[in-house]
């Protein structure tokens, strides 16, 4: 897919960010190129249309899942729902705690934003250790949603994050 080749050209690598030893893959240059960004969103919409039959809700992960999620949901004519770090969402929420490299973090989703049995796709920019995506899947389970697929732009394959997920996962670019 030419659209994905173009995205790959634009992703910029930053060694030792945010910590020594980490090679950070920056997707913001893609958003600086309107045609490339449009191509990426279209490719993601095409994938979901072809592989996620009957999807009713796109769930985007804090914070770069918010860059693509609403555009994709709008294009599909379906709902967008955010999962956010703890303390950011008003009203009643489902909460899940997950472990990071050092310590733990919490993420939340608003109750009633997803109904039991609803078919959802969970979206983020990048899958690394899979901790973030796994927490999102756990939240979906708590809400009794049906996870059709986890979708990320980039997967860092040597971290084997995919192994932590019990649902199918699609990545457009793998390093």
Selecting among 3, 25, 64, 162, the annotated active-site residue is 64
Q: Is the dihedral of CA 144, 149, 155, 157 positive or negative?
A: positive
| Active-site residue flag, 108 | no
Binding mask 91-130 toward ligand 5GP (x if CB under 6 A, else -) reads ---------------------------------xxxxxxx
Binding mask 62-81 toward ligand 5GP (x if CB under 6 A, else -) reads --x-----------------
Contact set for ligand 5GP, span 128-167 (CB under 6 A) = 128-133, 161
Give the nearer residue to ligand 5GP in terms of CB position, either 79 or 129. Answer: 129
C-alpha pair distances (Å), 160 with each of 18, 44, 54, 167, 175? 20, 22, 29, 14, 11
Q: Exposed (0-12), middle (13-18) or buried (19+): which is 58, by Cβ within 10 Å?
A: buried
| Active-site residue flag, 101 | yes
Residue entry with tokens 């191509």: 39
Radius of gyration of the chain (CA): 16
Binding site for ligand 5GP (CB under 6 A): 24-27, 61, 64, 124-133, 161
Active site residues: 64, 101
């Amino acid at each position: 897919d030419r659209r994905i080749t173009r995205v790959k050209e634009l992703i910029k690598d930053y060694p030792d960010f945010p910590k020594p030893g980490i090679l950070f893959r920056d997707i913001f240059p893609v958003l600086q190129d309107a045609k490339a960004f449009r191509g990426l969103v279209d490719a993601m919409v095409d994938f979901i249309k072809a592989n996620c039959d009957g999807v009713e809700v796109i769930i985007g992960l804090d914070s770069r899942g918010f860059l693509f999620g609403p555009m994709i949901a709008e294009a599909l004519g379906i709902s967008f729902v955010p999962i956010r770090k703890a303390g950011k969402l008003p009203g009643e929420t489902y909460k899940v705690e997950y472990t990071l490299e050092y310590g733990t973090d919490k993420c939340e989703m608003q109750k009633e934003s997803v109904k039991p049995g609803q078919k959802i796709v969970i979206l983020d920019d990048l899958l690394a250790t899979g901790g973030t995506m796994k927490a999102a899947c756990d939240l979906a389970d708590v809400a009794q949603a049906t996870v059709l697929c986890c979708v990320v732009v980039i997967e860092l394959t040597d971290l084997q994050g995919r192994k932590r997920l019990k649902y199918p996962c699609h990545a457009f670019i793998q390093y």
